């Protein structure tokens, strides 16, 4: 009998404990918030591929001359050294001794070098095209685009997405006569934006005409497609 009494007392204690430790948020609302914006790129990365070539009556124009002339041209446009980076070599790795040795063994070897040049506008890209050595330039295209304040924009959008979720929770809860309480969980917003390839055919046409020795068309006032940024966030609020 004593054991039965102890067992019943234990069951009553567990029941009372369970009642006192109920889930603190019995009613919740789960909502998604979205924020988006479009920005025009102000960081344009142009890839330029240069290669040695044979100049009629003068012999081969070496990679050092081509490199020096290119960098001088870039500098004359007011483009900082920090905005010019080497992306790769072909037949030459920057070691002049190695280069000279291989040239002796293979006089017909054409060395090449590839640069990325960061400019802030399509107008500056036009100027860069006009500074290029037509024969040395093997390729010219846009490698990528971005914006100098891209991290700041992303932060602003994340905040807006969370506020959007809260606004949505308020009017949805109000529709059933409820009020929202504190936020229980906030998942970090997921980026669903994209960085489009630039739509700038004018420069490509100019470059092709220059390399073909034809008349160069006047630059067109064409800009890039805007970068679209979008963030989605999920937030759970308590209802009260």
Q: Which CATH number does the domain 43-146 belong to among 1.20.120, 3.40.1350, 3.30.70, 1.10.540? A: 3.30.70
Split at pLDDT 50, 70, 90, the class of 126 is confident
Q: What pLDDT does residue 232 have?
A: 96
Q: What pLDDT does residue 134 have?
A: 84
pTM for this model (two decimals)? 0.67
User: Average pLDDT of 19-23?
Assistant: 54
pLDDT exceeds 60 at position 213: no
Give me the chain's average pLDDT, please: 79
- Picking from 189, 202, 182, the residue whose alpha carbon sits closest to that of residue 159 is 189
Q: Give the HSE-up count for residue 205: Cα atoms under 13 Å, Cβ half-sphere.
A: 11
For the chain, the domains span 22-41+148-240, 43-146
Output 59-66 pairs: Cβ under 8 A, ≥24 positions apart: 61/135, 61/136, 62/111, 63/92, 63/99, 63/111, 63/112, 63/113, 64/96, 66/113, 66/133, 66/136
Q: Which CATH superfamily is domain 22-41+148-240 in?
A: Protein of unknown function (DUF541), domain 1 (3.30.110.170)
pLDDT exceeds 70 at position 6: no
- Contact at 8 Å (CB) between 63 and 111? yes
């Amino acid at each position: 009998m004593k054991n039965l009494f102890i067992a019943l007392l234990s069951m009553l204690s567990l029941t009372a404990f369970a009642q006192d430790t109920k889930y603190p948020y019995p009613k919740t609302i789960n909502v998604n918030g979205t924020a988006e914006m479009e920005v025009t790129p102000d960081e344009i990365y142009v890839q330029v591929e240069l290669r040695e070539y044979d100049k009629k009556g003068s012999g081969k124009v070496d990679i050092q001359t081509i490199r020096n002339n290119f960098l001088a041209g870039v500098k004359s446009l007011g483009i900082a050294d920090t905005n010019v980076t080497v992306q790769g070599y072909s037949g030459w790795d920057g070691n002049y001794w190695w280069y000279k040795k291989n040239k002796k063994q293979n006089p017909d070897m054409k060395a090449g070098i590839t640069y990325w040049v960061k400019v802030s506008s399509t107008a500056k890209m036009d100027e860069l095209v006009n500074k290029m050595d037509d024969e040395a330039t093997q390729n010219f295209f846009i490698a990528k685009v971005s914006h100098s304040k891209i991290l700041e924009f992303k932060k602003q959008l994340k905040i807006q997405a969370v506020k959007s979720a809260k606004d949505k929770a308020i009017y949805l809860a109000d529709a059933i006569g409820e009020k929202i309480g504190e936020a229980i969980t906030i998942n970090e917003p997921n980026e669903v934006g994209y960085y489009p390839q630039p739509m700038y055919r004018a420069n490509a046409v100019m470059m092709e005409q220059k390399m073909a020795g034809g008349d160069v068309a006047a630059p067109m006032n064409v800009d890039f497609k805007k970068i679209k940024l979008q963030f989605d966030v999920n937030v759970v609020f308590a209802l009260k």
